[in-house]
Amino acid sequence: MVVRIKDSARFPKPQEGMARDEINRVNARLRHFRGVAAGVMRDALEIWREIWDSCQDRRSWEEILEGTPEPPGFTSPRDWAECVEKLHLLGTYIDYAKRLCEGSIDHPIHHESEVEACPDSLQSFQAAGHPSITRCCRPKKE
Amino acid sequence: MKHFRSVAGVVLQDAQDTWAELWKELQGKVTDGVMILPQAERGFNPDCGWPEFLEKMWRLKHYLDYARRFSTGEV
């Protein structure tokens, strides 16, 4: 059978088809990857905005110029707990996005072997009415 | 793909470093690991000062925003 140039252009060789499939697959993977990373970043920015808002002075600019004393800001432990929790969550988002980019998503941040028990903290938690907390996830110091 | 991962990885590493600096500021004054300390009720003043602390927060925002725009292809 004789294959003319005209026909070979119309019917691509199997290798070309495979290469195109591979390109499409890589493009789809990149699209998916970018979508996941963008989603994580959106959540991270939302959390950042909440932390930023909680750092803002509650007085208006007129009150600031008039020298109105600053109302108590982060004074209750509940406020602090929420703020620290948000900051911790933000760290988790950043860490997840970074591991996603590095391709090490399956590697946990801290292995069990890297966690040290801190009995003082545990006692404080349990005395403060949190008996369900049974271990502290503080990573071992270098 | 490799280029994208590298750029995003570097930006996020900077974001993570900045976050670690902020987190370190809270250690011993507001929180000890996972616990809110009693002295947190008396308020908090970062060692580096509020302007620098807020500057770090702002820098963190820029890293995150750049990484987001880079991911969505808006850069």
| Predicted local confidence at residue A111, as pLDDT | 37
Is the model's pLDDT at B75 over the cut of 70? yes
Is the model's pLDDT at B16 over the cut of 50? yes
Residues 25-44 of B with CB under 8 A from A: 26, 30-36, 38, 40-41, 43-44
Element (H, E) at A70: none
Place of tokens 């300390």: B37
Q: Which of B9, B35, B68 sits opposite A121 (nearest CB)?
A: B35
* Interface contact flag, A121 B34, Cβ < 8 Å: yes
Query: Measured between CB atoms, does A19 come within 8 Å of chain B?
Result: no
Tokens of B61: 């925002």
Question: Which ipTM did the prediction report?
Answer: 0.77
Does residue A64 contact residue A57 with C-beta atoms inside 8 Å?
yes
Coil/strand/helix, residue A97:
helix
Predicted TM-score (pTM) of this structure: 0.61
Q: Which amino acid is at A138?
A: R
| Predicted local confidence at residue A11, as pLDDT | 62
pLDDT, tens digit only, all 142 positions of chain A: 555 655 556 665 667 788 888 888 888 888 888 888 888 888 888 888 888 887 777 778 788 788 877 666 555 556 777 788 888 888 888 888 888 877 777 665 543 333 333 444 444 444 444 443 333 334 444 3
| Predicted local confidence at residue A74, as pLDDT | 55
Contacts of residue B60, defined as CB under 8 A and 6 or more positions apart, other chains included, come to A48, B15, B18, B19, B22
